Amino acid sequence: MSIRFGTSGWRGIIAREFTWDRAMTVVDAVAVFLLESGRKSIAVGGDCRFLSPELSEAAAERLASGGFQVHLSRSPVPTPVLSHACRSRELGGVINFTASHNPPVYNGIKFSPHHGGPADSAATGRIEELILAGAKPSPGKGQVKSTDFAPPYLSDLNGFIRAEAFRKHDSLRVVYDAFSGTGSGILDRKLVELGAAVRVLNGARDPLFAGKNHPEPNQEGLSELSDQVSHSGASLGVATDGDADRFGIVDEKGCFVSPHDFLALLLDYLAETGLQGKAVRSVTTGSLLDRVAASRGIPLHVTPVGFKYLGGVMLEEDVMLAGEESGGMSVGGHVPEKDGILACLLAAELVSARGEGLSSQLERLWSVHGRLHNIRLDVPLSAQTRDNIQENWFRKDPREAAGRPVIEVDRTDGVKLVLGPDTWVLVRLSGTEPLARVYIQSSSMALCDDLKEALTRDFGERK
């Protein structure tokens, strides 16, 4: 069973694909990869999943025995905090034990090189070669230093938020769902420091994610948060996933705010404050962001799915905002990695600075730019379903989809079929789970639902 890196590291079911010995094999390969480039320092940490703390300690000792100077997190740590530590301390890279939003039975490893962002395909390809070869570093005398990475990260966040904006709203009340993960004690701490009253849900470490079988801060996963915001009269609700790289937002009415809408609203706000640079989005992210960018004269860059692509643009060009529909976001000058903590802080800043809830802000944005609806369908990949998708979508250019003629085909990532003005469907295979992800956009929610129903039936029926 080979070890392959997906869009965000290597993940597998614990004890089936992801075992202790296989994890240490990956650690050895990463060590050799770093030594090939002359780098002998590294940050190591993990999330709150089963074995992440123990694996972090074992990996740190293993790396030190190979001559590395290891900075080991004292406790479970968010992915963006590790990324910040790598950059601020000028380390060679990061090994992060996490499976992000995957179900509790998963764990995994994310590797980031010296820039702190996700490793690109060339780097992960070389690591896979080293894994296959059974590469190990030569013995050496390194050192493990136990470190609290959070305080410097929290301090540097001040450069990306406007603390004075929070003072305009002297009764900001936030409900925060930490998803039993690493954001607890960090995001809520920063919000309190900024003057907000905060109620935390699921703040204690729980490898079972308080019973959430799929701990993703999407609309389904935020039902508890929505209820709490509605019943408490809070200003907004925010959430981060287990390793705090993804965000979820609920407005003052308890309604889920999709990343498609939030990113467009945030871009409008950041431009309003005078920030400059281009906007970067993944191909699966909705077109409302494009409309806002065009109205503001902001250049737009579209990438394949995965923050290694968005972060790559951030490393090379001036970027105001980079974001993707799965709840990933960062801003120019910050880490080239998803940061759910910063996203939630900026959502709170939007409410404070404008003195109104996200619901009314979105209504105003839609009145100017029009409203687009975006939904995602996750299709479990049986052998037959995979074969159907490969044959009918990937190996040929479909002439129709869901009973509608195809106007244009885009293969930036997966297969995107344009069916009409502002209407498209995109199918790609997940890089982290055995799923086909189907993305749908239309100016009509009814049409989105019709397309979803037709595609669900279509995938099951095609031979």
Strands 278-282, 247-250: pairing kind? unpaired
Report yes or no on 155 lying in a domain.
no
Which tokens belong to 393?
Answer: 């979508």
**Signed CA dihedral, 423, 360, 256, 180: sign only:** positive
Domain boundary among 326, 342, 369: 369
Three-point CA angle 108, 111, 117, nearest 5°? 125
Contacts of 159 (CB under 8 A, 6+ apart): 333
pLDDT tier at 457, thresholds 50, 70, 90: confident
In a domain, 389, yes or no: yes
CA angle 322, 411, 425 (to 5 degrees): 80
Residue 461 scores a pLDDT above 50: no
* 462, pLDDT greater than 50: no
Residue 442, domain CATH: 3.30.310.50
Q: Model confidence over 353-412: pLDDT tens digits?
A: 999 999 999 999 999 999 999 999 888 888 888 888 888 788 888 888 888 899 999 999
Taking the C-alpha atoms of residue 294 and residue 311, their distance in angstroms, rounded to an integer, is 22
Domain membership of residue 440 (yes or no) is yes
Residue 282 pLDDT greater than 50, yes or no: yes
What strand order describes the sheet that includes 143-147?
10-13, 106-113, 93-97, 41-46, 69-73, 143-147
pLDDT tens string 419-450: 998 999 999 988 777 888 999 999 999 999 99
Per-residue pLDDT at 460: 59
Query: Per-residue pLDDT tens for 196-232?
Result: 999 999 999 999 999 988 899 999 999 999 999 999 9
Strand segments, DSSP code E, in 290-372 are 300-303, 319-324, 328-331
Q: Where does a domain end: 104, 127, 149?
A: 149
Q: Which residues contact 380 (CB under 8 A, 6 or more apart)?
A: 434, 435
Question: Structural domain tally of the chain?
Answer: 3
Mean pLDDT of the chain: 94
Residue 5 in any domain: the answer is: no
Give percent of the chain with pLDDT exceeding 70. Answer: 99
Distance CA 303, CA 58 (A): 36
Range of the domain at 388: 373-461
Give the least confident one: 169-173, 274-278, 310-314, 337-341: 169-173
Residues 426 and 305 grouped into a single domain: no
Whether residue 348 sits in one domain with residue 244: yes
- Within-domain flag for 130: yes
Residue 203: CB partners within 8 Å, gap ≥ 6?
178, 180, 184, 185, 188
The rounded distance, in Å, linking the Cα atoms of 209 and 384 is 32
Q: Which of residues 369, 384, 412 is at a domain's end? A: 369
Helix runs in 90-173, H state only: 121-133, 150-156, 163-166
In a domain, residue 358? The reply is: yes
What CATH number is associated with residue 126?
3.40.120.10
Query: 93 in a domain, yes or no?
Result: yes
Judge residue 88's burial from the number of C-beta atoms within 10 Å of its C-beta, 0-12 exposed, 13-18 middle, 19 or more buried. middle
**pTM as predicted:** 0.94
Q: Can you tell me whether residue 372 is helix, strand or coil?
A: coil
Burial class (CB in 10 A: 0-12, 13-18, 19+), 355: exposed
pLDDT given for residue 390 in this prediction: 85
The pLDDT of residue 463 is above 60? no
293-329 pLDDT tens trace: 999 999 999 999 999 999 999 999 999 999 999 999 9
